[in-house]
Structure 1
Amino acid sequence: MTNFQTEKAIVRAHHDALAQAAPDTVTEILARHTTPNWHWRGMHPFHEQHGAAAVAATFWKPFLTAMTRVQRRPDIFMAGLNEMDSFESVWVVSMGHLMGLFDRPFLGISPTARIGMLRYAEFNRVEGGKIAETAFFCDIPHLMIQAGQNPFPPQTGAHLVQPGPATHLGLMYECQDPVAGQATLASINAMLNDMGSKNRNPNYEVELARTWNDDMIWWGPAGIGATYTIPRYICQHAGPFRQALSKGYRFNGHLCRLAEGDFGGFFGWANLTLANSGGYMGMTASPGPADMRVVDLYRAEGGKLSENWVFIDILHFLNMQGLDVLARLEIIQHPQV
């Protein structure tokens, strides 16, 4: 058992240093708290990178060039032992928004000169006093929507600037009761076991009520949206998802799953492989299976799950189906005549 304070301090120092970074200094700043062969996973179009120089060139330099006066505004900060490697490695998780002034183009998205909020979730594996591995998920389509460049047809849920936990207790900088974390992880695993059961209850509402509180909130990504209460969750997300994406469904597993206090979550690379039978997110039937890289973060209450923040690499999922959203954006803005 560990209190994770050392690992939390390393990640907080890393974030504090990044708060002072500029495009010409970010490589050196990233290198201070990461290993030389740091393994960084990012969403499309960033994908997997190794080392501070590659991560800086791929994400941070373009982002800090586009966004000025960036603030990290976390809503969840926690740490724990990774169930996926028999509770050997320590990971520190942060979730919230990177807020800045959207002053220059980013990935072909036109600037607004106004506040831009890039929603993010970040998992950091800390080993030997350094960050050795990172998964950085961010909601690029939501940034597009803020800039008036919505790439999707009308979504089934509502997408907002997603708030943090209703309890406002997600920033766990201090030691937490380990018993609470064990209970939260048990709630998450109970939900996953129901999802993976070969004998799933045909009444989806009854199944969900086993592991979710009725006032659950599913904070989904742009393109799908958020939804509130079990019946609306079924209507506005889970039902359409099951109907369109059950063909060839394969669960690939998670790379990290942990909990601390009332919060927990996981990510995979990719969590799911599935085929769109047609209609989902306005897409026609896909020519073959596509991967979903997903982060789920949860808040538990009373032995069940109450809130769920979800990040899906939708741009990668669509790209594997033949739709490159960012390339299409570039063509629209710079047509060849």
Structure 2
Amino acid sequence: MSTRRAEYKQSVHEFSESIRDATPESVGDLLAEHYRDDTIFHGPAPIDRLEGRAAIESELWKPLLTAFPDLEKNDYILFGGEFEGEEWVCATGNLVGTFENEWLEVPPTGHATWLRYGEFHRFEDGKIAETRLLIDILDVLRQAGYTLFPSLAPEVVIPGPTTQDGVLLDEQDVAESAKTMDLVEGMLFDGLNSYEEAGLDGMGMAEYWHEDFGWYGPAGIGTTRGIDGFQDFHQGPFLDAFPDREVGYHDARLAEGNYCASTGWPAVVGTHLGDGWLGLPATGNAVDMRVIDVWRREGELLAENWVFIDMIDLLDQIGVDVFERIRNDSQHF
């Protein structure tokens, strides 16, 4: 691992640790330490694309720190890698704070709230030049008392790695990193994309996943355990809804040690052809999905998968305006 990559990982981790002491008035100085002036930001709907550090400050961090004044940012996975000649750092964990003021039109609850995040940062000349960030906003709405869709599986506060070894600030074994990448790429490009030809049972899940693996999905889908749970409560309903979906449109894909991650804007494309997913009728609409995936390998198989889908954006593409529903719902508690 290059000294440069170690510095980049440390920079991302230090930013996370410093959020605890940041305020709406001071966060701009913190951003200036870590971000270029011309950083491009790709975020979740309704924040979406922002251009420049000043916009990231005013549209993301000031509103967050106003809504959650005691906010802290806890990475439980963090690692880096090179993709197509560029250096990236990936992290996931929870933003945690007391919901004291409105955020994204959501009324405050006064309660502790977990904002689950996944992020990729591309570095140039020692600072972040591009960020891709997904926050599970639908889960924030759930914690605020809104029940908008029948969840397919339990919705829980997502745990970090069971091995508690996800923050990789030190150098990792190159051979182990390559082994992790090979396993994930086989699963993505050979296993998942074989559905139309092989069907659900012919996708060879046991070649890639531990029998009792943990799959930690976004709100609306929920968390599953084991191959059967994954297929019954996520993969089967999802493929019924989007039978022609294709995966693998990645803007970055990294592996370091036993961890791998990918992101794409979009990473998955398909057509909404099946009824019933999240209780919704089929629309026939073509959709694309902003996704961040993080995996942990254990031995020869994948043991855990943290999954982020921009559900607000996806639902909008199939005719569901989540924030319009919130504006029209005054009796959600």
TM-score when normalising by structure 1: 0.92
Which residue of 252, 258, 261 maps to 1:262?
A: 258
Instruction: Report the equivalent of 2:168.
Output: 172
Q: CA deviation at 1:102?
A: 0.8
Aligned Cα root-mean-square deviation (Å)? 1.8
1:276–1:203 CA distance, 2 compared to 1 (3 A): closer
CA-to-aligned-CA distance 1:54-112 (integer Å, 9 cap, x gap):
11222111111110211112210111112xx2xx1111111100001111111122222
Alpha-carbon separation, structure 1, partners of 2:303 and 2:159: 14
- Asked if the contact 2:17/2:72 (under 8 Å) is kept, the reply is no
Instruction: Report the equivalent of 1:10.
Output: 11
Alpha-carbon separation, structure 1, partners of 2:39 and 2:259: 26
Q: CA deviation at 1:250?
A: 4.0
CA-to-aligned-CA distance 1:246-275 (integer Å, 9 cap, x gap):
14x344610000011111110100112222
- Asked if the contact 1:205/1:230 (under 8 Å) is kept, the reply is no
**Runs of 5+ unmatched residues, structure 2:** none
Counterpart mapping for 1:74-93 below 5 A = 74-82=75-83, 85=84, 88-93=85-90
CA-to-aligned-CA distance 1:127-155 (integer Å, 9 cap, x gap):
21101111111101111111111221x21
1:213–1:198 CA distance, 2 compared to 1 (3 A): closer
1:139–1:64 CA distance, 2 compared to 1 (3 A): same
Instruction: Report the equivalent of 2:117.
Output: 120
**Runs of 5+ unmatched residues, structure 1:** none
For the pair 1:285 / 2:282, whether they are aligned, the reply is yes
1:19–1:308 CA distance, 2 compared to 1 (3 A): same
Which residue of 231, 234, 238 maps to 2:231?
A: 234
Counterpart mapping for 1:90-239 below 5 A = 90-152=87-149, 154-193=150-189, 194-197=191-194, 200-202=197-199, 204=201, 207-239=204-236
Q: CA deviation at 1:29?
A: 2.3
The number of residues matched between the two structures is 328
1:107–1:201 CA distance, 2 compared to 1 (3 A): same
Instruction: Report the equivalent of 1:323.
Output: 320
Alpha-carbon separation, structure 2, partners of 1:232 and 1:250: 22
Percent identity between matched residues is 34
CA-to-aligned-CA distance 1:196-245 (integer Å, 9 cap, x gap):
24885345266100111111111111000010010111111111111111
Counterpart mapping for 1:39-78 below 5 A = 39-78=40-79
Alpha-carbon separation, structure 1, partners of 2:314 and 2:258: 31
Instruction: Report the equivalent of 1:274.
Output: 270
Give, as a single letter, the amino acid of the residue that structure 1 aligns with 2:2. T
TM-score when normalising by structure 2: 0.93
Mean CA deviation greater in 218-227 or 272-281: 272-281
- What SS is found at the alignment partner of 1:270? strand
- Asked if the contact 1:252/1:270 (under 8 Å) is kept, the reply is no
Mean CA deviation greater in 159-168 or 48-57: 48-57
Alpha-carbon separation, structure 2, partners of 1:174 and 1:76: 13
